[in-house]
Structure 1
Amino acid sequence: MDSEKDDQKQTITEIIKSGQLHSIYFNEFGIGVSKHDIFILLRRNGKEEAILNASHITAKSLVSSLGEALRRFETQTNQTIPDSDEIEKLMEEQDDDNNL
Structure 2
Amino acid sequence: MLNVMLRLQRWPTGSVARGGSSKRRLLRRGSAWLICLLFVFPASLPASLVQAASPLRANWPQFRYDARHSGTNPFEHVLSPFSVSRLQLDWTAKTGAVLISSPAV
Fold agreement, TM-score > 0.5:
no
Larger Rg: 2
Structure 2 length-normalised TM:
0.28
Q: Considering Cα pairs closer than 8 Å and 6+ residues apart, tell me whether 1 or 2 has the greater RCO.
A: 2
Higher strand content, 1 or 2: 1
